[in-house]
């Protein structure tokens, strides 16, 4: 048995363990790319300097805020669409295919497309707001507007995923408890609340965890849309590590930040694994 799983173990070690160990090693050194001074061991200096201080906790907060806004957008809409499509109304098939498109685009293309649409002077979104008589919003230039915009774009791309997961779960649910609830006297909302939702819970939980983990690592869309601005209003943990590592070229400090990101994401992974195990029972 052990020998049969050996190739998988080697692969896992090469892909995950080695980078992790190297990362942890780098995080205790003072290396800088292009520096004439050779790197040396600095112990936990990088952590002291970058992780346990307001810059990092700020980025962590930004990350969590954007994640939270995103979840609040993605789940009601994604689950709602799934419920609609599950009723198999006319045109569902076409609609379903169309809804999958955002998922198939690369984040960079999505980011660029939305950057044009969100442009405060020339963007179609402000033009629309104008047309219906609302005031224009400086989407990418204001703190909260920028955070919401990022959550919105991320959601636009991930709603299909939430929808697909929910739809798959819905179609695997037995029909008869829903019918029993209707006969028992439940309104459509209560059938959903007391019968459908509890049965969906394991899958929704896994989906939330996947989305949280994805969102904690969110980078490309923010990089294209705001580069972390205005100020540091949308600088997430990933973006901060990038700025330190590839803009300031301080690999040791960036590695320390990277390890911190992994440490923050870990609980979400653990919850995800537990949810998965629970749903298989």
Distance of alpha carbon 243 from the chain centroid: 19
Q: Decide: is 277 part of the binding site for other proteins (CB under 8 A).
A: no
Give which of 204, 227, 216, 213 is closest to 279, Cα–Cα.
204
How far apart are CB 72 and other proteins at their closest, in Å? 24
d(CA 97, CA 163): 12
How far apart are CB 139 and other proteins at their closest, in Å? 42
Taking the least distance from each CB to other proteins, the nearer of 20 and 186 is 186
Q: Omega before 230 cis (within 30°)?
A: yes
d(CA 216, CA 167): 25
Q: Under rule CB under 8 A, which residues in 107-136 are in contact with other proteins?
A: none
Size of the site for other proteins (CB under 8 A): 18
Taking the least distance from each CB to other proteins, the nearer of 36 and 90 is 90
d(CA 260, CA 281): 33
| Residues contacting 155, CB < 8 A, separation 6+ | 70, 73, 74, 77
Q: Decide: is 203 part of the binding site for other proteins (CB under 8 A).
A: no
Taking the least distance from each CB to other proteins, the nearer of 130 and 184 is 184
Taking the least distance from each CB to other proteins, the nearer of 36 and 189 is 189
Taking the least distance from each CB to other proteins, the nearer of 121 and 175 is 175
Q: Specify which residues 29 forms β-bridges with.
A: 41
Residue 78-97 contact track with other proteins, rule CB under 8 A, x = bound? --------------------
Q: Under rule CB under 8 A, which residues in 147-186 are in contact with other proteins?
A: 174, 176-177, 179-186
Applying CB under 8 A, among 64, 83, 129, 199 the residue interacting with other proteins is: 199
Q: Decide: is 43 part of the binding site for other proteins (CB under 8 A).
A: no
Give alpha helix (H) positions in the chain: 2-12, 18-26, 45-46, 54-86, 92-104, 107-118, 124-131, 143-172, 176-184, 188-191, 197-216, 220-225, 237-242, 251-280
How far apart are CB 271 and other proteins at their closest, in Å? 20
| Site residues, other proteins (CB under 8 A) | 174, 176-177, 179-187, 190, 194-195, 198-199, 201
């Amino acid at each position: 048995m052990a020998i049969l799983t050996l190739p998988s173990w080697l692969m896992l070690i090469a892909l995950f363990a080695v980078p992790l160990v190297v990362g942890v090693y780098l995080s205790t050194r003072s290396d800088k790319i292009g520096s004439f001074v050779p790197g040396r061991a600095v112990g936990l200096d990088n952590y002291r300097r970058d992780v346990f201080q307001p810059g990092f906790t700020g980025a962590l907060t930004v990350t969590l805020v954007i994640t939270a806004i995103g979840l609040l957008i993605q789940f009601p809409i994604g689950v709602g669409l799934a419920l609609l499509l599950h009723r198999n109304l006319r045109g569902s098939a076409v609609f379903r295919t169309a809804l999958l498109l955002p998922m198939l685009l690369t984040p960079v293309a999505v980011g660029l497309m939305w950057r044009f649409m969100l442009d405060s002077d020339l963007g179609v979104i402000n033009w629309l707001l104008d047309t219906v008589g609302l005031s224009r919003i400086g989407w990418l230039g204001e703190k909260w507007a920028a955070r919401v915009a990022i959550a919105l774009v991320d959601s636009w791309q991930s709603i299909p995923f939430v929808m697909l997961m929910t739809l798959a779960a819905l179609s695997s649910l037995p029909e008869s408890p829903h019918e029993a609830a209707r006969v028992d006297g439940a309104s459509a909302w209560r059938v959903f609340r007391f019968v459908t939702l509890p049965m969906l819970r394991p899958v929704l939980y896994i989906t939330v965890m996947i989305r949280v983990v994805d969102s904690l690592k969110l980078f490309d869309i923010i990089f294209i849309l705001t580069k972390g601005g205005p100020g540091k209003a949308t600088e997430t943990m990933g973006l901060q590590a990038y700025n330190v590592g590839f803009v300031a070229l301080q690999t040791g400090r960036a590695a320390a930040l990277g390890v911190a990101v992994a440490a923050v994401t870990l609980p979400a992974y653990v919850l995800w694994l537990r949810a998965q195990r629970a749903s298989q029972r």
